[in-house]
Structure 1
Amino acid sequence: MIKRYLIERSSWIFLFLLQQLILLLIAYLDPSIPLSAVGYIVFISLIVFVLFLFYRYQKETDFFQQLEERENDFDLSNMSSPSTPFEKIVKNSITEQTKHLKQTASENRMLVEQEKDDLLAWIHEVKTPLTAMHLMIQRMDETPLKGDLTYEWLRIHLLLDQQLHQKRIPFIKNDLYMEVTELEMLLFSELKTLQSWCIQKGIGFDFDLQVTHVLSDAKWLAFIVRQILTNAVKYSHSSEIVINSYNMNDRNYLRIQDFGRGIDTKDMPRIFDKGFTSTTDHQDQASTGMGLYLAKKAADSLHIQLSIDSKRNEGTTVTLAFPKRNEFDQTMGM
Structure 2
Amino acid sequence: MIKLYILERKSWIAFILFTHIVILFIAYVDSSIPLQSYLYIVFLVTIFFSLFVIFRYFKETKFYKQLSETEISNLIEEVQPTSSFEKIVKEKLEEQEVQLKSLITKQKSMLEQEQDELLSWVHEVKTPLTSLHLLIERIEDTQLKSQLTYEWLRVHLLLDQQIHQKRITFIENDLFMEKVNLQQTIHQEIKFLQSWCFQKGIGFDLDLKEADVISDGKWLGFIIRQLLTNAVKYSRHDDIFIKSDLYDGHIRLIISDKGQGIDVKDLPRIFEKGFTSTTNHQNHQSTGMGLYLTKKAADSLHINVKVRSKVEAGTTVVLTFPKRNEFTLIRSK
TM-score, structure 2 normalization: 0.75
Letter of the structure 2 residue corresponding to residue 131 of structure 1: T
Counterpart position of 1:202: 201
Counterpart position of 1:82: 80
By how many angstroms is 1:328 displaced?
3.0
By how many angstroms is 1:275 displaced?
0.6
Q: Secondary structure at the match of 2:296?
A: helix
The answer as to 2:130 corresponding to 1:109 is no
Q: Secondary structure at the match of 1:318?
A: strand
Write the deviation string for residues 107-165 of structure 1: whole angstroms up to 9, x where unpaired. Answer: 11111111101110110110111001101111111421111100000000000000000
Gaps of 5+ in 1: 1-54, 64-80
Letter of the structure 1 residue corresponding to residue 106 of structure 2: E
* Contact 2:307 2:318 (C-alpha < 8 Å) held by counterparts: yes
| Structure whose CA Rg is larger | 2
Counterpart position of 1:262: 261
Letter of the structure 2 residue corresponding to residue 236 of structure 1: S
Number of residue pairs matched by the alignment = 260
Distance of aligned partners of 1:331 and 1:180 in 2 relative to their CA distance in 1, 3 Å threshold: closer
By how many angstroms is 1:250 displaced?
1.1
By how many angstroms is 1:93 displaced?
2.7
Separation in structure 1 between the aligned mates of residue 80 and residue 130 of structure 2, nearest angstrom:
65
* Contact 1:245 1:255 (C-alpha < 8 Å) held by counterparts: yes
* Contact 1:82 1:91 (C-alpha < 8 Å) held by counterparts: no
Counterpart position of 2:119: 120
Counterpart position of 1:304: 303
Letter of the structure 1 residue corresponding to residue 80 of structure 2: P
Separation in structure 1 between the aligned mates of residue 164 and residue 93 of structure 2, nearest angstrom:
39
CA RMSD of aligned residues (A): 1.9
- Identity among equivalent pairs (%): 58
Distance of aligned partners of 1:252 and 1:82 in 2 relative to their CA distance in 1, 3 Å threshold: farther
The answer as to 2:145 corresponding to 1:132 is no
Q: Secondary structure at the match of 1:292?
A: helix
Counterpart position of 2:252: 253
Q: Secondary structure at the match of 2:318?
A: strand
Counterpart position of 1:143: 142
Counterpart position of 1:37: none
Counterpart position of 1:77: none
Distance of aligned partners of 1:196 and 1:331 in 2 relative to their CA distance in 1, 3 Å threshold: closer
Separation in structure 1 between the aligned mates of residue 136 and residue 330 of structure 2, nearest angstrom:
46
Q: How does 1:32-51 map to 2 (within 5 A)?
A: none
Separation in structure 2 between the aligned mates of residue 330 and residue 293 of structure 1, nearest angstrom:
23
Write the deviation string for residues 36-56 of structure 1: whole angstroms up to 9, x where unpaired. Answer: xxxxxxxxxxxxxxxxxxx99
Q: How does 1:309-328 map to 2 (within 5 A)?
A: 309-328=308-327
Gaps of 5+ in 2: 1-69
Letter of the structure 1 residue corresponding to residue 199 of structure 2: Q
* Contact 2:301 2:330 (C-alpha < 8 Å) held by counterparts: no
Q: Secondary structure at the match of 2:285?
A: coil
By how many angstroms is 1:304 displaced?
0.6
TM-score, structure 1 normalization: 0.74
Separation in structure 1 between the aligned mates of residue 317 and residue 86 of structure 2, nearest angstrom:
58
Letter of the structure 2 residue corresponding to residue 159 of structure 1: L
Q: How does 1:1-334 map to 2 (within 5 A)?
A: 81-85=79-83, 86-333=85-332
By how many angstroms is 1:274 displaced?
0.6
